[in-house]
Amino acid sequence: MHIHILGICGTFMGGLAVLAKEAGHRVTGCDANVYPPMSTQLEAQGIELIQGYGPEQVSLEPDLYVVGNVMTRGNPLIEEILNRGLPYMSGPQWIGEHILRHKWVLAVAGTHGKTTTSSMLAWILEDAGYSPGFLIGGVPMNFGISARLSGEADSDFFVIEADEYDTAFFDKRSKFVHYHAKTAVLNNLEFDHADIFPDIGAIETQFHHLVRTVPGVGRLVVNGDEASLARVIKRGCWSDKETFGGSDGVDWAMVEHPGGASFDVLFKGENQGTVHWELTGKHNRSNALAAIAAARHVGVPVAQAVDSLSRFQSVKRRMEVRGVVNNVTVYDDFAHHPTAIATTVGGLRQRIGTNGRILAVLEPRSNTMKLGAMKDALPGSLKDADLVFGFGSQQALGWSLADALKPLGTIAHSFDQIDYMVQAIIQAAQPGDHILVMSNGGFGGVHQKLLEALAK
């Protein structure tokens, strides 16, 4: 089959392209922004890329057009496909029908932690010899790739990051309803994606659609600390269920060791072993519990999963150290929702204690942040930082970042030009400081700018 992918340079659609190529299909694609690193990765796979969405691309005569959720009505290629009555399908539906149909699917859903938990789960299965396939919205450092059909051996297992964002312009259900998971992790649930969901109740409805698709022989692994997920389950649950977290009565719990670098895993009150690793923050320990519980459902002994996590190398752009210059460390992190910002800053504070300051550098660029739905929560999410540098103009955001950060007082500074912000950060930085850069985009290459400026 020849498939032509619209919006191929997005993380999900790029991963889909790799899977389709591995499965033996001819793959071509187009995007408005065809540039490295995704373009070079795809071209290395022998995938032909086209810049833009010109209607003349129908001359490729593919068997099917696979449509990414960034595509809208009015797009010239979409209009040509519709006018000619050509066959098309969403990315999630194609994955569900052509890759996942005969797999034991382990789907990880949640507002936060999907990428990290999926990466942990894929690594546990890999280390246990299951050779899983996976599609993850980031690059697990243990693998160095974001998607593969299976490992060295053909595998019955597939780990997928299960996004609640909508599927396509013609399918407003969440992506994850197409995956037909047998093991589903419900990691957490907060209000997000204000551009498509009016309130948290609407998101809870989508999560319950996911619950409805898990078979009776399947299992839900649910965060027992989340009232929102309790409401989802109360609507109906037809599968086995295990809970994790810090609340009383959960199946999977943890006991943190002093310093936070290791923790005991408890199942129904019995100690199952100790995870020794370098990751910080309660959120990562919670992610680990979810991954261990999900892996156990497919047969991985808990002791094996605990041991595997001691060799887990995290995910690119998740507290990734980009460099150390003159004893100043620069990190890159994907955090963009206030809860994720708070857990990221708090995790770093727990790791370093009073040994150095945290200079938080933030770009609020997600659709939810641009709509201003979370701006009032920003100051509280940054309370563990010593200095805060925010980037974003009122024109781009539609609201004043400086005003939003005012409750932080003199420790907060806002900028609308990256070079001026870099200069201010460098003037403030001292040996022993930790510069924590948080954005769900490229942030204008600010990480490298900071490292180069520090070197001077």
pLDDT of residue 293: 98
How sure is the predictor about 442, in pLDDT bands with cuts at 50, 70 and 90? confident
392 pLDDT band, cuts 50/70/90, is confident
Average pLDDT over residues 286-308: 96
pLDDT level of residue 106 (50, 70, 90 thresholds): very high
Judge if 122 and 20 occupy the same domain.
no
Tell me the per-residue pLDDT of 161-195, one tens digit each, with 9 for 90 and over: 998 889 999 999 989 999 999 999 999 888 776 66
The span from the CA of 390 to the CA of 402, in Å, is: 8
Give the residue ranges of DSSP H helices in 139-281.
Answer: 200-213, 227-234
Q: How high is the pLDDT of residue 280?
A: 74
Is residue 35 very low, low, confident or very high in pLDDT (cuts 50, 70, 90)? low
Instruction: Answer whether residue 72 is part of any domain.
Output: yes
Q: Is the pLDDT of residue 56 over 90?
A: yes
Let me know whether 202 and 274 are in one domain: yes
Mean pLDDT across 301-327: 88
- Whether residue 151 sits in one domain with residue 47: no
CATH for 61 = 3.40.50.720
Residues 62 and 177 in one domain: no
How many structural domains is the chain composed of?
3
- What average pLDDT score do residues 3-23 get? 93
* Residue at which a domain ends, from 309, 343, 376: 309
The domain of 21 spans 2-90
Same domain, 49 and 132: no
Residue 117 and residue 240 in one domain: yes
What is the H or E stretch that residue 321 is in? strand 320-325
What is the domain-level CATH number for residue 282? 3.40.1190.10
* % of the chain surpassing 70 pLDDT: 97
Average pLDDT of the segment spanning 193-221: 89
pLDDT bracket for residue 236 (50, 70, 90): very high
Q: Which amino acid is at 189?
A: L
Query: What is the per-residue pLDDT for 199?
Result: 84
Give the model's pLDDT for residue 36: 66
Q: What is the DSSP string of 249-318?
A: T-SEEEEEPTTSSEEEEEETTEEEEEEE-S--SHHHHHHHHHHHHHHHHTT--HHHHHHHHTT---BTTS
Query: Would you say residue 450 has pLDDT above 90?
Result: yes
- Write out the DSSP string of 51-97: ES--GGGGGG--SEEEE-TT--TT-HHHHHHHHHT--EEEHHHHHHH
Angle at 173 between CA 318 and CA 71, to 5 degrees: 75
How far is the CA of 194 from the CAs of 64, 337, 344, in angstroms?
Answer: 32, 11, 22
Q: Helix 446-455 vs helix 418-428: angle between axes, to the nearest 10 degrees? A: 40
Do 293 and 169 share a domain, yes or no? yes
Let me know: does 108 contact 161? Beta carbons within 8 Å.
yes
Mean pLDDT of the chain: 90
Q: What is the Cα–Cα distance from 40 to 263, expressed in whole angstroms? A: 40
Q: Classify residue 95: in a domain, yes or no.
A: no
**Within a domain: residue 314?**
no
Interval 65-94: pLDDT, tens: 999 999 999 999 999 999 999 999 999 999
- pTM equals 0.79
Q: Residue 333 — very low, low, confident or very high, per pLDDT cuts 50/70/90?
A: confident
Q: What is residue 194's predicted lDDT score, i.e. its pLDDT?
A: 65
% of the chain surpassing 90 pLDDT: 62
* Helix or strand holding residue 421 (H, E): helix 418-428
What confidence tier does 37 reach under pLDDT thresholds 50, 70, 90?
Answer: low
Query: Which residues have CB under 8 Å from 175's CB, separation 6+?
Result: 12, 69, 91, 92, 162, 163, 164, 165, 166, 167
Which domain-ending residue is among 279, 309, 339?
309
Which tokens in the block code for residue 324?
A: 């150390």
Q: Could you give the angle at the alpha carbon of 325 between the alpha carbons of 322 and 329, nearest 5°?
A: 50
pLDDT confidence bin for 320, thresholds 50/70/90:
confident
pLDDT of residue 18: 92
For residue 448, pLDDT beyond 70: yes
- Model confidence at 287, pLDDT cuts 50, 70, 90, reads very high
Helix axis angle for 282-297 and 338-352, nearest 10°, is 110
- Taking a C-beta distance cutoff of 8 angstroms, is the pair 23, 43 a contact? no
Residue 451's pLDDT is 92
- Tokens standing for residue 446: 């600010």
CA atoms lying within 13 Å on the CB side of residue 56: 4
* Average pLDDT score over residue span 122-145: 91
For residues 324 and 289, membership in a common domain is answered with no
**Among 19-23, 48-52, 228-232, 370-374, the least confident range:** 370-374
In contact, 388 and 380? CB cutoff 8 Å? no
- Same domain membership, residue 256 and residue 373: no
DSSP-assigned letter for residue 171? E
Looking at the chain, the number of H-run helices and the number of E-run strands are 16, 23
Judgement on whether residues 108 and 85 belong to the same structural domain of the protein: no
Are 82 and 137 part of one and the same domain?
Answer: no
pLDDT of residue 248: 87
pLDDT on residue 318 = 75
Q: Is residue 395 part of a domain?
A: yes
| Listed ranges 248-252, 294-298, 408-412, 414-418; the one with the highest mean pLDDT | 294-298
The tens digit of pLDDT for each residue in 354-367 reads 788 999 999 887 77
Q: Kindly state whether residues 294 and 175 are assigned to the same domain.
A: yes
